[in-house]
Chain A
């Protein structure tokens, strides 16, 4: 998993059937420098991840990438490649 700051959300007017009702968050990955500085900045290349936890803009999440991102929807097959697995409350680095 990588760490990222939630920057916003996306809604789709048309989408594949399996995406119905899913929340899509725009996540900006956090660099080690920004994590250590605790400055709420990201620094990485933004991506879209499915979020079922209700993460709000400004919160830090950890997201899984790859086929494992679709595991939560098992046994359904769904074209998800990024998934917010947890909302970070506190961290020590």
Chain B
């Protein structure tokens, strides 16, 4: 699992059938110093995280398979919305 910041959203018409009706958010993985990764990721979000929110992303596709069926290619899912991050010497929302 890792932390990421929601940066936007994407809309798709042609997609894997199991993705019908799913909310797809564009996010950036966060490094330990709080900086964002160069490449964005697309995550499945059932929690409704707002733009700019810090979320916990799991790379385990099990929850997606459970909800969308065994044939879903989904891997990255938002499993939590971060309230606060505490690190030695710094604190950020």
List residues of A whose CB falls within 8 A of some B CB.
1-3, 29-33, 35, 43-44, 52-55, 62, 64-69, 71-75, 83, 85-93
Contacts and interface: CB of A to CB of B under 8 A. Distances in A.
A68 B10 CA distance: 20
Interface string B62-83: 0011000011111110000000
**Chain B interface size, under 10 / 10 to 19 / 20 to 34 / 35 or more:** 20 to 34
Contact of A71 (B14, B37, B41, B65): B65
A2 B14 contact: no
Contacts, number: 113
A68 B26 contact: no
Contacts of A90: 10-11
Nearest to B59: A66
B91 to A, nearest CB: 25
Given A2-B42, A32-B7, A66-B75, A71 B36 contact: no
